[in-house]
Amino acid sequence: MKKILVIHGPNLQLLGQRETAIYGVLTMEEINKTLEAVAASRQAQLTFFQSNHEGGIVDRIGVASAEGFAGIVINPAAYTHTSVAIRDAVSASPLPVVEVHLSNIHKREEFRHHSIIAPAACGQISGFGAQSYVLGLMAVIGILESH
């Protein structure tokens, strides 16, 4: 069974109540339940991690491989645009990493158009609401199955 780590970045614990016109009405827990159902159908096991702290995310990425994870789905949230540390952790990881975003970051404020993380990831999916996470999970599973 493939173990996949799903990382939710800062403020994502507020999903369902925060700026619902942008991020939707589903909570992080509801998104996680959907992902668990998809993962079970593809013989994958998920572990979820949410942090508002850059260092916590960096630490989690850094030990993921040693803990037996095969891939990572990450929504770095606001750190997408600012965190060289998370970018470097993704780059240093031997695992396939897919970056996801609920909103289309390229249709938002100018400062959100650039992802520091994307060049270090296998790919980026944005703009499909909670479905972005499902597509990201399917991408990681597809990468794992093709190797």
Pick the catalytic residue from 8, 23, 79, 133: 23
Enter the tokens of residue 79: 């750190």
| Cβ neighbours of residue 105 closer than 8 Å, sequence gap 6 or more | 80, 112, 113, 115, 126, 127
C-alpha–C-alpha distance, residues 101 and 128, integer Å: 8
Candidate list 8, 79, 101, 133, residue with the active-site label = 101
Angle of helix 131-146 relative to helix 28-41, nearest 10 degrees, comes to 30
23 is catalytic: yes
- Rounded-to-integer distance, Cα 64 and Cα 4, Å: 9
Of the candidates 111, 109, 99, 45, which has an alpha carbon nearest to the alpha carbon of residue 74? 99
Name the one residue in this structure whose structure tokens are 């479905």: 131
Q: Give the catalytic positions in this structure.
A: 23, 101
